[in-house]
């Protein structure tokens, strides 16, 4: 298998490790390769099923359906922990679980990991009622008041433009700067 599967969420990584132990290593490697090469198409997932088309090595598409009982589903998990062969269906006709099913499951785990990563990043941002956030905002506000605005240090004579536009450009810039100075 070329490259590594990088999963940041420990629960998802644990589930993928468990699944990789239930499937032939060659099939898992091919599934990973299909997923890595963006060969999972028309992917749809719900609480109790996943449907996708996987483009195989011969550029033929196989339809994959993975279904499970809602009662067996862990709401916090990506898929039920234990899935039997009746859970899987693939139009390739090979022994299940096949490389196409592996590709869809790896894709599912990767997508869930990406969405959890986004949630974690957004949760790191402080809320407005956080004391430290308010303190830092106050310090930042004081620093801003000490500095003069950039437009006051702007020198239009240093612009290098066509000489016939120079006078008009200077007039427009000075008018804009004057109006900015007058605004509260």
Q: Domain check: are 119 and 28 in the same one?
A: yes
Per-residue model confidence as pLDDT tens digits over 70-117? 655 555 555 666 666 668 899 999 998 999 999 999 999 999 888 876
DSSP one-letter string for the chain:
--S-----SHHHHHHHHHHHTTS-HHHHHHHHHHHHTT-EEEEEE-SSEEEEEEE-TTS-EEEEEEE--GGG--TTSSS-S---GGGEEETT-SSSS-HHHHHHHHHHHHHHHHHHHHHHHHHHSPPTT-HHHHHHHHHHHHHHHHSPPGGGG--GGG----HHHHHHHHHHHHHHHHHHHH--
Q: Is the pTM of this model over 0.85?
A: no
Q: Domain check: are 104 and 144 in the same one?
A: no
Is 25 domain-assigned?
yes
Residue range of the domain that includes 165: 131-182
Q: Domain check: are 92 and 161 in the same one?
A: no
Per-residue model confidence as pLDDT tens digits over 53-70? 999 988 999 999 998 876
């Amino acid at each position: 298998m070329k490259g590594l599967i990088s999963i940041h969420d420990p629960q998802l990584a644990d589930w993928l490790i468990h699944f990789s132990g239930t499937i032939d290593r060659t099939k898992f490697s091919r599934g990973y390769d299909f997923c890595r090469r963006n060969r999972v198409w028309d992917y749809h997932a719900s609480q109790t099923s996943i449907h996708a088309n996987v483009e195989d090595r011969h550029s033929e598409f196989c339809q994959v359906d993975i279904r499970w009982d809602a009662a067996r589903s862990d709401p916090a998990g990506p898929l039920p922990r234990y899935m039997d062969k009746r859970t899987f269906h693939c139009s390739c006709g090979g022994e299940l679980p096949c490389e196409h099913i592996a590709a869809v499951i790896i894709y599912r785990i990767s997508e869930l990991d990406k969405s959890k990563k986004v949630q974690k990043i957004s949760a790191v941002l402080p809320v407005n009622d956080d004391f430290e956030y308010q303190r830092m905002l106050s310090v930042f506000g004081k620093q801003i008041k000490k500095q003069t605005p950039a437009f006051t240090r702007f020198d239009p004579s240093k612009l290098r433009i066509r000489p016939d536009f120079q006078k008009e450009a200077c007039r427009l810039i000075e008018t804009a700067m004057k109006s900015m100075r007058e605004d509260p």
